[in-house]
Amino acid sequence: MRRRTLLRGASGLGLAGLAGCSSPAPPLPPPTVTGSKPNRPVNVEYVRSEARGRNVTLVVMRPAGEVDSTLPVCVALHGRGSDARMFVQLGVPDLLTQLAGEGRPPFAMVGVDGGNDYWVARTHHDDPQRMLTEELPGWLAERDLEPAPFAAFGLSMGGYGALNYARTTPHPVVAALSPALFLDWPDAESRDAFAGEEAWASTDPFQHLDALGDTKLGVWCGTDDPFVDAARKLADAASPEVAAFDPGDHDAPYWLRTVPRAVRFLADHAG
């Protein structure tokens, strides 16, 4: 699948599937399985994840012209009801190329399927965090990328996952866009994503902020977003480098306006 074809397929969705990250997105054309050394700015593959007990989609996005470089990596964690291709739909490949053209240190963004359970293990047979910490480094190395990501970019449910990922890995940078966080257990329970209150408490970012250490954090959320109170709590408690609350909802129009700011924040820390 050529990059142009992939992007045309994404734009054809009109981003309708991203509107709330609460229902499955309309399917894109199936990914093409490629070799271990992709040479396209956007490369989509299936890989086998033993941690998740299934094949998952792996999407590697590079700046145009940097396809032969060993680049630092930001891992991209998608929202609920979406998949690894979400960040292609939101225009990340063109942003990476634009920033590299401005003289920013080039970096790759890599998305992988994490399911719908907030990037935590609901069962022993499906553990997205173990996939990220144990399997992703090898997949990156096989594709001539730096095996230890320098950052995590989480959108909606992916913000919850990115904050957990940063707890256990040496990530100095996290960008959390419309992070789907919860103020209490009844709120979290309503999402039907956690095995129980104990499982939620063990992964709730608010209860483990000390584990973030010196993580450089950026937080963006729309003022009409149903998660805005939790995002403000995160900004108050975690002292992020950037915290922006602008008009917008938990939807594609807000993300399309704000993703460029989040990616620029990541680029500021890529060198």
What are the Cα distances from residue 21, in Å, to 29, 50, 145, 183, 230?
19, 25, 29, 19, 17
Predicted pLDDT of residue 25: 36
CATH of the domain at 120: 3.40.50.1820
User: What's the distance, CA 178 to chain centroid?
Assistant: 11
> When comparing pLDDT for 15 and 57, which is higher?
57
Is the pLDDT at 12 greater than 60, yes or no? no
Of residues 124 and 258, which shows the higher confidence score? 258
Q: Which residue has the higher pLDDT, 106 or 168?
A: 106
pTM for the full predicted model: 0.87
In a domain, 48, yes or no: yes
Dist. CA 222–CA 248, nearest whole Å: 4
In this structure, are residues 40 and 2 in contact, taking their beta carbons and an 8 Å threshold? yes
Higher pLDDT residue, 271 or 234? Answer: 234
Contact 178, 250 (CB under 8 A): yes
| Amino acid sitting at position 42 | V
Least confident stretch, 110-114, 146-150, 170-174, 252-256: 170-174
Burial 47-86 (b: 16+ CB within 10 A, else e): bebebbeeebbbbbbbbbebbeeebbbbbbbbbbbbbbbb
At 18-76, the pLDDT tens digits run 644 543 333 333 333 344 444 478 999 999 999 999 999 999 999 998 766 789 999 99
Residue 22 maps to a domain: no
How many residues are there in the chain? 271
| Arithmetic mean of pLDDT over the chain | 88
Question: What are the tens digits of pLDDT across the range 99-112?
Answer: 999 999 999 999 99
Instruction: Say whether pLDDT at 268 is over 50.
Output: yes
Domain that holds residue 191: 3-13+32-268
Q: Within a domain: residue 27?
A: no
| Mean pLDDT score, 238-266 | 98
Query: At residue 10, does pLDDT exceed 80?
Result: no
By the 10 Å C-beta count (0-12 exposed, 13-18 middle, 19+ buried), 36 is classed as exposed
**What local confidence, expressed as pLDDT, does residue 30 receive?**
39
Which residue would you say has higher pLDDT here, 248 or 30?
Answer: 248
**Residue at 19 is within a domain:** no
Q: Is residue 150 part of a domain?
A: yes
Amino acid present at 256:
L
Q: Is residue 251 part of a domain?
A: yes
Q: Of 35-49, 135-149, 223-237, where does mean pLDDT reach its minimum?
A: 35-49
Q: Which residue has the higher pLDDT, 67 or 263?
A: 263
Q: Which of the four pLDDT bands, split at 50, 70 and 90, describes residue 139?
A: very high
Which pLDDT does position 43 carry in this prediction? 95
| Count of structural domains within the chain | 1
pLDDT exceeds cutoff 90 at 13: no
Residue 121 forms part of a structural domain = yes
Query: Which pLDDT band holds residue 15 (cuts at 50, 70, 90)?
Result: low
- Is residue 30 left, alpha or beta, with left meaning phi > 0 and alpha meaning psi from -120 to 50? beta
pLDDT at 1 exceeding the cut of 80 = no
pLDDT for res 24:
36
Average pLDDT over residues 125-153: 97
Strand order in the sheet with 42-49: 42-49, 54-61, 108-112, 73-77, 151-155, 173-177, 216-222, 242-246
